Amino acid sequence: MNALERTALVLIIIGAINWGLIGLFQFDLVAAIFGGGLQSGAFARFIYTLVGISGLICLSILFKPNQELEEEHSYQPQS
């Protein structure tokens, strides 16, 4: 997994946690930290946009062949 995919995955996780907080407690953490809600906080809207773009980037991870993923995560000790 390259740096772009890792960054996108972190943003997806942040977005998922935020949606969980919205669903469970009606609390929008991103809006609370960066001001306003989806309509009024410009920086909060920017964060929401980054999370959405990250979701699109992570689609490539979903469709990677299993062999390629296994090769990335396999540990090969050096002789």
For 67, the token pair is 């062999």
Residue 53: per-residue pLDDT: 92
Residue 68: per-residue pLDDT: 61
Residue-wise burial string across 10-32, b where 16 or more C-beta atoms lie within 10 A, e elsewhere: ebbebbeebeeeeeeeeebebbe
Give me the chain's average pLDDT, please.
80
Residue 38: per-residue pLDDT: 53
Q: Are 4 and 60 contacting, i.e. CB atoms less than 8 angstroms apart? A: no
Residue 32: per-residue pLDDT: 86
